[in-house]
Amino acid sequence: MTATDDDEEVKQANQGFYRAFESLNIDNMRGAWATGDVTCVHPGWPLLKGVERVMDSWKRIFENTAMMQFTITGAVVRVEGGSAWVMCTENINTLVDGKVAEAKVQATNVFMKIEGRWLVVHHHGSPLGVTS
């Protein structure tokens, strides 16, 4: 497999992560992640360690969100062997109290290729300023 194929696979895995996020479905999100010693930083949150704590955090986010749509821009993919990291901007529309709010989050997503699939092992999202 060439580097280009890997790049494309990692891009698709990154898109898959955001489709799982939009679905607000914990089983979809769990399927995008590796198990074990994964880690996660939500905007403003401390580091969460271990798949159970990370999945609990997604459950809480999903329970408090009516709608979330992502447009991903500026994605930079770097693949090194069985590891990869993607830096991208999440342009997010959410529905809060019946109104659409927009936000931008800068993300670093780290992936590992496990049994042929690129799975998230670390997500770090941080606020990049809010538009309109």
Smallest distance from its own copies to CB 83, Å: 4
The residues near 60 (Cβ < 8 Å, ≥ 6 apart) are none
Q: Does 108 bind its own copies (CB under 8 A)?
A: yes
Place of tokens 């606020």: 127
Cβ closer to its own copies: 74 or 116?
74
Residue 85 as a binder of its own copies (CB under 8 A): the answer is yes
Please give the DSSP secondary-structure letter assigned to residue 25: -
User: CB under 8 A: which stretch of 23-31, 55-63, 77-85, 93-101 binds its own copies?
Assistant: 77-85
* DSSP state string for 33-44: B-SSS-EEE-TT
Q: Are strands 117-127 and 83-96 parallel, antiparallel or unpaired?
A: unpaired
The Cα–Cα gap between 132 and 130 comes to 7
Among the residue ranges 5-13, 23-31, 33-41, 92-100, the one whose residues contact its own copies (CB under 8 A) = 33-41
Residue 82 interacting with its own copies (CB under 8 A): yes
- Give the number of residues written for the chain: 132
Which parts of this chain interact with its own copies (CB under 8 A)? 37, 39, 41, 43-44, 46-47, 49, 74, 76, 78, 80-83, 85, 87-89, 106, 108, 110, 112, 121-122, 124-129
